[in-house]
Amino acid sequence: MVALSRRSALALAGAGVAGSAALVACKSSKPDPVTDAVAFTGEHQAGIVTPAQDRLHFVAFDVITKDRDRLVQLLKDWTAAAARMTQGRDAGEIGAVAGIPEAPPDDTGEAIGLPAAALTLTIGFGPSLFRRFGLGARQPAALAPLPKFTGDTLDASLCDGDIAIQACANDPQVAVHAIRNLARIGMGVVSVRWSQLGFGRTSSTSTGQATPRNLFGFKDGTRNLKAEEPDLLREHLWVQPGDGPDWMTGGSYLVTRKIRMLVETWDRSPLAEQEMIIGRTKGIGAPVGMADEFDDVDFTSVGADGEPLLAPVAHVRLAHPDTNNGARMLRRGYNFVDGSDGLGRLNAGLFFIAYQRDPRTAFIPVQRSLSGRDELNEYIRHVSSALFACPPGLSGPSDFWGKALFEYE
């Protein structure tokens, strides 16, 4: 049997040979150059350390059923649909246009003819899920709700959620199609709590990727954890045996923060001040006082005025591992522009995404350091916050999202 993508199925449909597709998981965790598909199964979920794609559609769901079996069935159905869509196929076995005219199609159709576009679908479970379905004792200690931080201006309707799914792809229509179909399949069991579209990745997760820029115009993601650093990934990204609970071994904790950026105010500030606030040059992205983007941050040199070259309030000083007891995380955020705010300003910013082995020793201390002193706070507002436990990758066809969490002795 052959695996037919939406593209080849469309082409072959004309020749009358569509309908014999079978799921074939591709082996590599990098996009397959022929099918442009990222493997759906593996040790870790795709969409974390796999190369960051250009587009995002992120959704947080509330579970609206009290029936545990219905939720487990949905997780099975979602897994099957996600396996198909990440390989460039329709969400359902029949597809968008091959079904009977009397029934709604099992795929919505807007991705017909589009490739897999390196689509990854990554699932996470929020703290609120563990208050139900007998999951209380299964909640990881690391999954305690995030604390309030100085300056937070959070909108509760944009925070938290029982289940999150991150869709990343190199085509926005492919990412939106995936989330739309998962929401459709979940009708009656889950409802969308909040969602976010993103464009322009704001970090690299591989040394092979150029460092992109955020909406303040600075290179972002220079000193990110990268796929080529397995020792650091073990230490800072993946939950290790013994960290507990077992169902999270090989997984990672996901923090999202929607951060509005007051771009109009930023755009009126002088270049030298922008560089002082970030602690890096805007052009090359080098740490202040250094020449190259990948030079180490210089904490100690002082200028002719006797003041440190790297300001005490500079973002990269306050976010640096040396300032935070060695804390590191894998950032995977996206720019967003959600139209304008009715006052003539863009509603724009950074949808910050960070994965880590334990938020208590990574995101939380770093955000405490930033929220207290970071000069960047004059120009940003945190409006949404969430934390999710992302289990390890799926082992094969009999595994499904959440199996080890829900099915235990």
Ligand X SMILES: C=CC1=C(C)c2cc3[nH]c(cc4nc(cc5[nH]c(cc1n2)c(C)c5CCC(=O)O)C(CCC(=O)O)=C4C)c(C)c3C=C
Positions touching ligand X (CB under 6 A) are 214, 216, 218-224, 257, 259, 261, 278, 280, 297, 315-316, 319-321, 350, 352, 363, 366-367, 370, 380
Quote the least distance from Cβ 247 to ligand X, whole Å.
26
Quote the least distance from Cβ 228 to ligand X, whole Å.
16
Phi, psi dihedral angles at 227 (to 5 degrees): -55, -30
Residue 233 or 297: which CB sits closer to ligand X? Answer: 297
Residue 177 or 320: which CB sits closer to ligand X? Answer: 320
Quote the least distance from Cβ 223 to ligand X, whole Å.
4
| Long-range pairs, 288-296, Cβ under 8 A, ≥24 | 288/314, 293/211, 293/219, 293/222, 294/222
Residue 138 or 315: which CB sits closer to ligand X? Answer: 315
Strands 346-356, 252-261: pairing kind: antiparallel
Quote the least distance from Cβ 302 to ligand X, whole Å.
20
Cα→Cα distances 82→57, 182, 319, 407, Å: 14, 8, 35, 20
Quote the least distance from Cβ 153 to ligand X, whole Å.
13
Residue 119 or 319: which CB sits closer to ligand X? Answer: 319
Tokens of 167: 């869709």
Give 299: exposed, middle or buried? Use CB within 10 Å, 0-12, 13-18, 19+.
middle
Please state whether 16 falls in left (phi above 0), alpha (psi between -120 and 50) or beta.
Answer: left
Do residues 261 and 215 touch, judged by C-beta distance below 8 A?
yes
Do residues 86 and 350 touch, judged by C-beta distance below 8 A?
no
Quote the least distance from Cβ 210 to ligand X, whole Å.
13
Quote the least distance from Cβ 348 to ligand X, whole Å.
10
Residue 128 or 323: which CB sits closer to ligand X? Answer: 323
Residue 126 or 221: which CB sits closer to ligand X? Answer: 221
Residue 158 or 261: which CB sits closer to ligand X? Answer: 261
Question: From CA 36, how far away is CA 336, in angstroms rounded?
Answer: 25
- Give the distance from CA 89 to its chain's centroid: 22
Tokens of 359: 């938020």
For residue 242, the 8-state DSSP code is T
